[in-house]
Structure 1
């Protein structure tokens, strides 16, 4: 019992000591901050500075403003005052001391206009060229007398024999033709010869009958073209009907490369566009071709389109089933560019931090486009020459969020809308363009007329040219401000 009381005494003494240290620490922190302990922060700053706050806010919910100090309804903390000299709603942005900017490692760059390559890479597999298929059929009913050593998958040349067929119907017709020839009646002989051709007899077999003067009722079926045997349906002793398929031979002079391209990137591909492929089987070697077709269906599981590229297959080195990496070449289109690292992607929108001349920083919403070589195309939200933060922008964005600074919307930017199209008609003060979709303003692909304030904008251009152009929408209507020719691959 004595030991229990002693333990309780020691615990009580330790608790008193902790409380004393905590109280001293609280006094020290409050004294270091220059405010009397216990007073609300809003009241302290209002009293010491002699300034009148614009409003009070909760740093965790900066968008909600209050007209008097007090405790936040959202968090267990006091509201913070916002003063006029700290920036108000009429002067957006946050101010950072230049010395602090250097310490934070802030780096600014100018929005520039440059060329953005339409580079795209995808994976693909080699397949047979389905347009290069020869079908071997029996021209007449008969019986298979002999087959040659062939099997599906064999590579054969043009004229390679496949099977010998005995055709009984041909024997009687050939004997009749030989008998008519002996009569010397040219008209009857010609009619009898035409009958042989109508029975499906090859010209070579008819010529052999004429040379030998005796019937040839056995014909050798051969491949009309070289390639690989895909199917072989002929066996010794079997009966065949007229028109029955005996074999299918797929040529290997050209092959197809079927590339799986994401549907989001397939919109920039066109038939005839150059493509280059590299294969693991031939390291260091590049096979070039052109886009033959873009298949209309989308694979539901992978959300990809199949782009078909036709490749020359010299020596039969490219074999169906081989894996290849495909790179699609394209033109370098003019675009408004910013470093990709400058973008702040929140999931719902994309922001950049504008650097103002007065030392303020303001978030601005942008519409991002293609990306290549560390640069991203800006479709809307920025103008050429504006300064943005390329490094350290996340720190400023956090401060702007805490300060309740709202991002400049895309519509508030003076940037031109960018699009690509083809000139249909060109006059001194207007241009009619068949343009692609303009996602920044929700326009679909269509043909429309734009005002042309200065004919020098269209210098060197003519109807039929494909162009990249920038336009705005003043009250007078859509107006082209810039237009450059795009090379067609």
Structure 2
């Protein structure tokens, strides 16, 4: 039969499709599906052996390698720049390398941010603990030396007259107690002197009762004393019975002449100043303390004093007076300190710096470097572990220094925002602050109130 006829013939058989086209030219019996579970045996023993070997290897894998399946690399805690794909020793210091993983970590709060530990080591971050210390600090102020007002002798005439003699006439002359300073001739002295002489004569004659005479004589002596006659002049008058028209002023203190305006022959009126003598054995130092510092001051406190004019000397004094008012412009109070001046090195008008040591007891403290000023508030970074940091505004008091510490490190008193035992960043604060700004960590906590310190 021709092939075309065979193609045109439609035969419904397993050897032809529906169009009658042959699909097989020879008999091929269908393959049977093997029973369930028998194809492993058909796969043969080699594949099954490989699976067993892999399973045993996985079970024998060290536990530490299983725990760090999400390993990134190995590094050295002392040298973070060292990176290795396999564990081993640091080529620099020989320490065991530690794994760095990228596993899921605790998500920081909105006000927290993360600086990896190795990054902190690179930028030199260190930590300090918030703890209690004894707070001893100095309050410093400035002031100037002045003359002790109670040690100023002003010779003022109480009679009219003329300058007859000047025993001391130069500024800066040193005088001693009882030393003559100036002599005045005054006719006003004759009458009261003559009265005393007459009373003494009457007492001697016995014409007047002794009781009344004693009272009159005492009043006459008192009148002469009010005219600045000294006891020596009055005694000389009683001895001689001869009134004089002259009065000699004597120094009542040891000191230095600061004013001597009179000349011999000049006329003087009652109330005129003849001479001024300053006693410089002790001086007053008036210092300006801020109103926030006055509460720490007490009368009698010891004060250390330094003067730029005497850089190699140090002086001490005691607080005598604490001013009752505050200067409305300077916001300061005047405090008077008495300073002994036995050697005479201190001079009125000298500029001085004073320091008062205050012991405020124990309190919560942080290192001075751990607090970052941000305008009107202070910022600290609290360690939350695993490189997580929390920026926190804190309230601080005064700055002080631990005297028992050889380094004399400075600290802040903490009044709010931190708790005892917390760890805070104590160095590289500016770099950490920059990282916090980049990560937006201060966005959600800027208005939070600081926690009270405990």
Q: Give the TM-score, by structure 2 length.
A: 0.64
Task: State whether structure 2 residue 89 is matched by structure 1 residue 87.
Answer: no
CA 1:175–1:407 in 2, change beyond 3 Å: closer, same or farther? same
Per-residue deviation at 1:268?
3.3
In structure 2, the residue corresponding to 1:307 is in which secondary structure? strand
For 1:65, the equivalent position in structure 2 comes to: none
Counterpart of 1:98 (choices 113, 117, 133) is 117
CA 1:370–1:178 in 2, change beyond 3 Å: closer, same or farther? closer
CA 1:343–1:197 in 2, change beyond 3 Å: closer, same or farther? closer
For 1:66, the equivalent position in structure 2 comes to: none
CA 1:98–1:223 in 2, change beyond 3 Å: closer, same or farther? same
- Quick one: distance in 2 between partners of 1:88 and 1:194? 95
CA 1:98–1:173 in 2, change beyond 3 Å: closer, same or farther? closer
For 1:241, the equivalent position in structure 2 comes to: 269
Contact 1:362 1:408 in 2 (8 A): no
The structure with the largest strand share of the pair is: 1
For 1:144, the equivalent position in structure 2 comes to: 163
Q: Which structure would you say has the larger Rg?
A: 2
* Matches for 1:317-466 after TM superposition, within 5 Å: 317-373=345-401, 374-405=410-441, 406-407=444-445, 411=449, 413-416=451-454
- Quick one: distance in 2 between partners of 1:287 and 1:182? 59
Task: State whether structure 2 residue 334 is matched by structure 1 residue 298.
Answer: no
Counterpart of 1:195 (choices 209, 220, 239) is 220
Per-residue deviation at 1:165?
1.7
Per-residue deviation at 1:195?
2.6
For 2:340, the equivalent position in structure 1 comes to: 312
Counterpart of 1:228 (choices 249, 256, 260) is 256
Per-residue deviation at 1:347?
1.1
For 1:250, the equivalent position in structure 2 comes to: 278
CA deviation string 1:386-408 (max 9, x = no partner): 11111233333323323332347
Per-residue deviation at 1:358?
4.8
- Quick one: distance in 2 between partners of 1:245 and 1:415? 64
- Quick one: distance in 1 between partners of 2:417 and 2:317? 39
Task: State whether structure 2 residue 287 is matched by structure 1 residue 259.
Answer: yes
Question: Which consecutive residues of structure 2, in runs of 5 or more, have no partner in the other structure?
Answer: 1-103, 402-409
CA deviation string 1:423-456 (max 9, x = no partner): xxxxxxxxxxxxxxxxxxxxxxxxxxxxxxxxxx
- Quick one: distance in 2 between partners of 1:198 and 1:132? 25
Per-residue deviation at 1:334?
1.6
Contact 2:253 2:279 in 1 (8 A): yes
- Quick one: distance in 1 between partners of 2:436 and 2:417? 18
- Quick one: distance in 1 between partners of 2:351 and 2:269? 41
- Quick one: distance in 2 between partners of 1:346 and 1:227? 55
In structure 2, the residue corresponding to 1:402 is in which secondary structure? helix
Higher mean C-alpha displacement, 164-173 vs 343-352: 164-173
CA 1:193–1:277 in 2, change beyond 3 Å: closer, same or farther? closer
- Quick one: distance in 2 between partners of 1:254 and 1:144? 32
For 1:130, the equivalent position in structure 2 comes to: 149
Which structure's relative contact order is higher, taking Cα pairs within 8 Å and 6+ residues apart? 2
CA 1:241–1:193 in 2, change beyond 3 Å: closer, same or farther? farther
CA 1:189–1:349 in 2, change beyond 3 Å: closer, same or farther? closer
For 2:184, the equivalent position in structure 1 comes to: 165
Higher mean C-alpha displacement, 143-152 vs 385-394: 143-152
Higher mean C-alpha displacement, 400-409 vs 109-118: 400-409
- Quick one: distance in 1 between partners of 2:195 and 2:292? 69
- Quick one: distance in 1 between partners of 2:188 and 2:218? 15
Q: CA RMSD in A?
A: 3.0
CA deviation string 1:107-134 (max 9, x = no partner): 1221011012121334433221123222
Contact 1:288 1:311 in 2 (8 A): yes
- Quick one: distance in 1 between partners of 2:310 and 2:430? 45
Per-residue deviation at 1:263?
5.2
Contact 1:161 1:220 in 2 (8 A): yes
CA 1:178–1:414 in 2, change beyond 3 Å: closer, same or farther? closer
Question: Which consecutive residues of structure 1, in runs of 5 or more, have no partner in the other structure?
Answer: 1-83, 417-489
Contact 2:168 2:182 in 1 (8 A): no
In structure 2, the residue corresponding to 1:270 is in which secondary structure? coil
- Quick one: distance in 2 between partners of 1:162 and 1:205? 14
- Quick one: distance in 1 between partners of 2:377 and 2:220? 78
- Quick one: distance in 2 between partners of 1:397 and 1:305? 39
Contact 2:143 2:287 in 1 (8 A): yes
Per-residue deviation at 1:242?
3.6
CA deviation string 1:207-246 (max 9, x = no partner): 1122123223322111222223333343322333344432
CA 1:264–1:226 in 2, change beyond 3 Å: closer, same or farther? same
